Chains A and B, each alone.
Chain A
Amino acid sequence: MTDLLSPAEWEALALSLRVAFVSMLGCLPVALMFAFLLARYRFPGKALLDGFIHLPLVVPPVVIGYLLLVLLGRKGVLGAWLYDTFGVSIAFTWKGAAVAAAVMALPLAVRAMRLAIESVDRGLEDAAKTLGARPMKVFATVTLPLISPGILVGALLAFARALGEFGATITFVSNIPGETQTIPLALYAQIQTPGGEAAAARLAGISIAVALVAMIASEVMARRIRRSIGEAE
């Protein structure tokens, strides 16, 4: 089984999974917060915020990577302060790759969650409030279960997007085997290497397979939860 892939490819797969999981976990709470903000509230500058959140979707990924470099690189606006104060730098590390992937996945997660939040029947929440439940309890026991398909879809979309992240990653944290060389970056390196065709094909296969599994799982899980909620009503 271990001969299926070379050690470098196993390393790329492990790194890809680690980066995707961490970026998904980091992206979720932020996405949920923004989704609530955009779905439930009106405030000046809302369109601007919406635009900024969706920037990673429409702007070239290399631009996002460049902005991350300017902001969080070792000599960046925020990064230099972080390094001088805490000795911490995420540039050229897998944590930086996770940040890049999380930023790129954010708009997808926000869209999925916002849709779910907007389709919640406010009447149910109001009913809970009239029965004496505090806002936090309403959120935890009424809203959250109702939007859980949306959260799940958003999480899996974020995971799949993070798995496939390339442009921002290679610009911000570069292509360092074992540290930032996720599957897309490893594939890119193999395409440029004489004799790397077989490895490139294997990596492409893994990439497609993992992404398909994530997407199908997302659909199946969402359908089950929707069905269970439908039965409860």
Chain B
Amino acid sequence: MACRFAGTLAAAFLAIASFAYPQARAEDLHVMAAASLQPVLTAFLEAHGGEIDGDRLVPVFASSGTLARQISQGAPADLFLSANPHWADWLVEDLGLSPDRTADLLENRLVLVVPTADSSPRTLLDFAGAGRLMLGDPAHVPAGQYAKQALTALKLWDGLTPRLVFGSNVRTAVAFVERGEVDGAIVYRSDAVGSDRLRIAEEIDPGLHDPVVYRAVLLSDRARGLLAALQSADAAAMFRRYGFEPLPHGQ
């Protein structure tokens, strides 16, 4: 009998406690950023104590296409950092924003990575014959779109298709290569720089695909301070450390 009441009490306590835990607040600044920015932005937020101008920063990382779609459907967002201009422009058009609310922030490079344990020299041509290659899903992941362009230009796409694995974002591809689940992946140079469980097997010629440009979309004026902070010299140094190439301000 006492047991039954104890159970109900415990349940009631848990229910109340679950509401008491810190929740999202209205003054939070939501940053929807491409998955490849996760390591560097997390470090950036930590360096700023998780706040900009007193507003708590809440980052949401996913593939740029997924984020653009969610924002279009009403997901709360103050700043959108897309790994390609395509999704940024799509969102600007979808929401009817003026083009001067965008800013090109960074550049990146595509590389072929393999697990560090695999020490033999590997190139994309090797994968044409055998081995599982992982990409971001070209339907919505910019890294996958760039990779598909490069593979198509090299005439390798059709032969590779049966052995390609698509990830929901580029960091998934990094995780799978690190674990040795796939033989290789096409990811950004910034992803390779940050990991010691994979190595760059080949740098992919930038001429084979559209330039990898990270475009920011300012969705609310409250994020102006954050955007300025991301364009500062300190931020540029941090981006360079993580393998990105910051673009000059005002581009």
- The residues of A with any CB-CB pair to B shorter than 8 Å are 10-11, 14-18, 21, 69, 73-75, 83, 89, 91-92, 174-179, 191-197, 217, 221, 224
The docked-state distance in angstroms from the alpha carbon of A158 to that of B12 is 16
Is the pair B60, A10 in contact by a Cβ cutoff of 8 Å?
no
Q: Are B7 and A194 in contact (CB under 8 A)?
A: no
| Inter-chain contact A74/B73, CB cutoff 8 Å | yes
B74 touches which of A75, A177, A221 (Cβ 8 Å):
A75
Task: Determine whether the beta carbon of A11 is less than 8 Å from that of B18.
Answer: no
- Bound-state CA distance A17–B21 (Å) is 11
Please name 11 pairs of A and B residues whose Cβ atoms are closer than 8 Å in the assembled complex, sorted by A: A11-B22, A92-B75, A176-B75, A178-B23, A192-B167, A192-B171, A193-B38, A194-B171, A194-B174, A194-B197, A196-B175
- In the complex the two chains form, what is the Cα distance from A91 to B75 in whole Å? 7
A91 partner residues in chain B, CB cutoff 8 A:
73-75
Would A21 and B18 be within 8 Å (CB), given that A178-B58, A193-B38 are in contact? yes
Contact partner of B14 among A10, A11, A17, A194, CB < 8 A? A17
Report the tally of A-B residue pairs with Cβ distances under 8 A: 77
4 A-B pairs closest in CB distance: A74-B74, A14-B21, A17-B18, A18-B18
CB distance from B96 to the nearest CB of A (A): 14
Distance from B161 Cβ to chain A, minimum over Cβ atoms (Å)? 23
Complex contacts, A14 vs chain B, CB 8 Å: 17-18, 21
- Residues of chain B with a CB closer than 8 A to A217's CB: 7
Could you say which residues of chain B place their CB within 8 Å of the CB of A11? 21-22
Q: Could you tell me the dominant secondary structure of chain B's interface residues?
A: mixed
Tell me whether A191 and B70 are in contact (CB under 8 A): no
Give how many B residues have a beta carbon under 8 Å from the other chain's beta carbons: 33
Partner of A192, one of B7, B14, B175, B197: B175
Complex contact A175–B74 (CB within 8 A):
no
The CA-CA distance from A179 to B28 in the complex, in Å, is 12
Residues of A close to B171: CB separation below 8 A: 192-194
The minimal Cβ–Cβ distance linking A165 to chain B, given in whole angstroms, is: 15
Given A17-B14, A21-B15, A177-B60, CB of A92 within 8 Å of CB of B74: yes
| Residues in A neighbouring B178, C-beta threshold 8 A | 194-195
Bound CA–CA A16/B60 (angstroms): 18
The CB with the most chain B CB atoms within 10 A, among A17, A89, A217, A224, is that of A17
- CA of A177 to CA of B22 in the docked complex: distance in angstroms? 12
Alpha-carbon distance A69/B60, docked complex (angstroms): 20
A71 vs chain B, min Cβ distance (A): 13
Per the bound structure, the CA–CA distance linking A108 and B58 in Å amounts to: 36
CA distance A18 to B16 in the complex (A): 8
With CB as the reference atom, state the residue of chain B lying closest to A217.
B7
11 additional A-B residue pairs with CB within 8 Å, beyond A15-B21, A18-B21: A14-B21, A16-B18, A17-B18, A75-B73, A83-B74, A92-B73, A178-B23, A192-B168, A193-B171, A194-B178, A224-B4
> Which B residues lie within 8 Å of A75 (CB)?
73-74
Produce 1/0 per residue, B143-172, CB < 8 A to A: 000000000000000000000000111011
In the complex, which residues of chain A have a beta carbon less than 8 angstroms from the beta carbon of B18?
A: 14-18, 21
